[in-house]
Amino acid sequence: MRNGASPEERFAEDGFVRIERFQSPDQVAEVLAELDRYVAEVVPGIPDTDAFYEDKSRPETLKQLVRLADHDGYFRRLLHRGALPQMASLLLGEEVRPINQQIFIKPPGGLSRATPPHQDGFYFHLEPCSALTLWLALDDVDEENGCLRFVRGSHLRGVRDHRRTHTLGFSQGVPDFGSGSDLADEVACPAAAGDLIAHHALTIHRAGANRAAGRRRRAVGMIYYGVSARERTEEHEAYQRRLAGDLRKAGKI
């Protein structure tokens, strides 16, 4: 990575970039307050496919919320307006379409699991795969409580083979991860609350479990597609139906 490179240059070269202090402490506090409201007031009425628990009978094991913008005005505005879509457009080098918004939670006390290595683009079924995820840290994140880890430059090498992982919320992973230059090129990416991490849809990434006592790891993930990307709709919808059926059979949703 070149010293003094712009965020878009670093993103193009490495497949990811961290932008420090993207949101202020007051802005992070606002998002957290709205998240608490969403969990208390909105989650009871949303489809079971939009809230994932490690153990559905234990509310404290909530690990992932998806499609928040479909259900709530505050999170819709966060996804569609202002600095976040502007940053997505800058990094991709074209106008973008907001697609999905998720909350990622790794609770402490042995309740979380590791996120397997994967490429988001495998799930998206796009041609071309012009897409990224913006990941806004809501807590300080380090290797102990499960920071993201990226394989630098992997976005330039196409889609790897993926197989079922049986990890809730991340149903597919790279089975031969660790081969070639994966580990040599892997970079841990800790973040402070308010930092923004962007990664390309083809960048291989993973995260460890939260091993920290008493420290949560929460983040907002926002997916944007470039306007040049076209979704292979039938493939995507068929995958989503299979996934929902598998999760219901396993009692996870």
Radius of gyration of the chain (CA): 17
Structure tokens at 96: 């973008």
| pLDDT (0 to 100) of residue 207 | 96
Computed over every residue of the chain, the mean pLDDT equals: 91
- Asked if omega into 116 is within 30° of 0 (cis), the reply is no
Specify whether the CB–CB gap between 252 and 48 falls below 8 A: no
Of residues 56 and 190, more confidence is placed in: 190
Judge whether residue 119 has pLDDT over 90: yes
Q: Percent of the chain having pLDDT more than 90?
A: 77
Q: Percent of the chain having pLDDT more than 70?
A: 89
What average pLDDT score do residues 47-75 get? 92
Judge whether residue 242 has pLDDT over 70: no
**Superfamily of segment(s) 7-249:** q2cbj1_9rhob like domain (2.60.120.620)
Rounded CA-CA distance 124/160 in Å is 14
| Helix/strand number for the chain, H first, E second | 8, 15
What average pLDDT score do residues 154-169 get? 85
For 180-226, write each residue's pLDDT tens digit: 999 999 999 999 999 999 999 999 999 999 999 989 999 999 999 99
| pLDDT (0 to 100) of residue 164 | 83
Provide the β-strand partners of residue 53: 62
Rounded CA-CA distance 101/69 in Å is 6
Burial 168-197 (b: 16+ CB within 10 A, else e): bbbbbbbeebeeeebeeebeebbbebbbbb
Judge whether residue 236 has pLDDT over 80: no
- Residue 210 DSSP label: -
